[in-house]
């Protein structure tokens, strides 16, 4: 049978437990706006009374109060993993869409000053030469307009090369950030495992670690798996980036210029074995742009430049200029970066317009003026390139918008599970306050009873 002094301990455990509940609710309220914070709950259970059989052991079956067995961190591992997956997909698609938009800005179609309009003006200049084959001014205008087209091709390729170089630099910077974040996760793993082994609460440390893992998911498409001891392993493309307390490093290797990409392609590699790291997230979009998207657009632009040079040169080489000379190509070079007007800009008489020396029929110029209508000409190749870019960019933008909405829905579910609800916390505060007041009242009552028993028993008539 429990003593009155045992009842004091029972009331005291109630004070301790409810005070801990008040502390935890206050912690939740204080961190309501802290990024990555997970709400916490005090888990209480009744202290079981003595139940071991012994000759002189007696128990009335009542418990010995209440105890706090854990401070729970209310976060769903399933929703966290789903959130990492959706954030990785969203980061990839959003960055991919931004890259396509940047490429569209390079060409700026449709526009009166864009490359398609420059092609149109150049063919129009050939028509002017055909109409006035003996007019040097028309030929000078053609040379200037052709030089404008060449500059447009150079500028487009130069802008693509500049974008490629910027992305290359960003990818290297992000790889360093991935390595730093992985090191931080490994350090937190160590602190969490040691703290758990000593019985300490590690909720805040786990919140910090989850923020780092989510950051890695967005940067490189990382996934995570939790160990029984509380440590987390992080994977990139199925390979370990963080294994409990140890980490691996990644690096971006390969070409430093767009022109060298075909020879020494850019790769994201593991530094310890040189194997390719399959990245998702933002770095996945960057690597895809560096190895496929931008080089592909540059290749198509080179095809346009080559078609332009081949189309014009095929007709112009046999044509005679005003100086009676033929056999001169109009363009030199066979790529967007190397194409140039091969004729002397100050000698318009070199422009060939006829197949018969000494005549001014302008037949070749007339033929070239219709090159923009050719099914396999440079205009058609350029139009197809821009149309394909527009379709892919629009598709990427729509996929990104859809994924953003999906990610927001998952984040809302995560917030509902782990976020702090101030109304709920105020209710908990009142609950713990009432519990604390009731326990203190029990303590006061038992104290009064003991005072009566000890100090007043036997004082009859006094």
Domain boundaries, the chain: 4-74+419-455, 82-409
Q: Report DSSP state, residue 277.
A: P
Give the Cα separation of 77 and 79 in Å (integer).
Answer: 6
User: What's the CA angle centered on 269, arms 167 and 226, to 5 degrees?
Assistant: 105
- To the question of pTM greater than 0.85 for the whole model, the response is yes
Per residue of the chain (462 residues), give pLDDT as tens: 455 567 888 889 999 999 999 999 999 999 999 999 999 999 999 887 655 555 555 556 566 889 999 999 999 999 999 999 999 999 999 999 999 999 999 999 988 889 999 999 999 999 999 999 889 999 999 999 999 999 999 999 999 999 999 999 999 999 999 999 999 999 999 999 999 999 888 999 999 999 999 999 999 999 999 999 999 999 999 999 999 999 999 999 999 999 999 999 999 999 999 999 999 999 999 999 999 999 999 999 999 999 999 999 999 999 999 988 999 999 999 999 999 999 999 999 999 999 988 777 889 999 999 999 999 999 999 999 999 999 999 999 999 999 999 999 999 999 999 999 999 999 999 999 999 999 999 988 888 888 777 887 766 555
Side-by-side strand order, sheet with 232-236: 223-226, 232-236, 239-243, 246-247
What are the Cα distances from residue 217, in Å, to 223, 418, 420?
6, 19, 24
Q: Are 125 and 137 in contact (CB under 8 A)?
A: no
Which among 375, 386, 331 is positioned nearest to 147, based on CA atoms? Answer: 331
Query: What is the chain's length?
Result: 462
Other beta carbons within 10 angstroms of residue 9's beta carbon come to 16
Report the pLDDT value the prediction gives residue 50, as an integer from 0 to 100: 58
Tokens of 344: 């002397």
Which among 278, 221, 283, 271 is positioned nearest to 247, based on CA atoms? Answer: 271
Q: Are 218 and 88 in contact (CB under 8 A)?
A: yes
Q: Are 49 and 63 in contact (CB under 8 A)?
A: yes
Q: Are 99 and 285 in contact (CB under 8 A)?
A: yes
User: Which residues touch 74 (CB under 8 Å, ≥6 apart)?
Assistant: 38, 39, 40, 41, 417, 418
Q: Three-state SS for 122?
A: helix
Other beta carbons within 10 angstroms of residue 358's beta carbon come to 7
């Amino acid at each position: 049978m429990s003593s009155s002094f045992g009842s004091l301990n029972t009331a005291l455990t109630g004070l301790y437990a409810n005070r801990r509940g008040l502390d935890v609710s206050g912690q939740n309220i204080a961190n309501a706006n802290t990024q990555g914070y997970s709400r916490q709950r005090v888990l209480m259970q009744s202290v079981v009374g003595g139940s071991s059989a012994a000759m002189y052991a007696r128990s009335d079956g009542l418990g010995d109060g209440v105890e706090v067995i854990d401070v729970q961190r209310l976060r769903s591992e399933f929703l966290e993993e789903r959130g990492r997956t959706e954030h990785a997909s969203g980061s990839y698609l959003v960055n991919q869409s931004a890259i396509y938009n940047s490429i569209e800005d390079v060409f700026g179609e449709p526009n009166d000053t864009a490359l398609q309009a420059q092609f149109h003006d150049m063919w129009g200049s050939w028509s002017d030469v055909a109409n006035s084959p003996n007019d040097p001014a028309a030929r000078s205008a053609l040379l200037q307009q052709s030089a404008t087209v060449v500059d447009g091709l150079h500028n487009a390729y130069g802008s693509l090369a500049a974008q490629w170089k910027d992305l290359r630099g960003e990818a290297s910077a992000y790889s360093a950030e991935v390595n730093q974040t992985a090191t931080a996760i490994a350090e937190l793993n160590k602190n969490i495992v040691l703290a758990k082994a000593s019985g300490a609460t590690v909720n805040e440390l786990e919140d910090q670690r989850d923020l780092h893992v989510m950051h890695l998911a967005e940067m490189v498409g990382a996934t995570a798996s939790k160990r029984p001891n509380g440590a987390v392993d992080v994977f990139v493309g199925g390979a370990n980036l963080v294994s409990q307390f140890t980490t691996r490093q990644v690096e971006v290797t390969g070409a430093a210029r767009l022109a060298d990409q075909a020879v020494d392609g850019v790769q994201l590699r593991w530094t310890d074995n040189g194997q390719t790291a399959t990245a998702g997230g933002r770095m996945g979009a960057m690597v895809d742009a560096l190895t496929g998207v931008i080089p592909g657009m540059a290749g198509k632009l080179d095809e346009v430049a080559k078609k332009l040079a081949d189309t014009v040169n095929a007709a112009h080489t046999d044509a005679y200029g005003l100086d009676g000379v033929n056999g001169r190509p109009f363009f030199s070079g066979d790529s967007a970066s190397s194409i140039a007007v091969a004729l002397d800009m100050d000698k318009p008489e070199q422009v060939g317009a006829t197949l018969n020396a000494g005549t001014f029929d302008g037949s070749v110029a007339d033929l070239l003026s219709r090159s923009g209508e050719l099914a396999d000409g440079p205009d058609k190749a350029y139009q197809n390139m821009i149309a394909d870019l527009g379709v892919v960019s629009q598709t990427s933008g729509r996929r990104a918008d859809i994924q953003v909405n999906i990610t927001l829905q998952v984040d809302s579910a995560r917030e509902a599970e782990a976020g702090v609800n101030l109304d709920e916390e105020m209710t908990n505060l009142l609950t713990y306050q009432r519990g604390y007041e009731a326990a203190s009242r029990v303590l006061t009552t038992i104290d009064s009873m003991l005072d009566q028993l000890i100090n007043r028993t036997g004082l009859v008539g006094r």
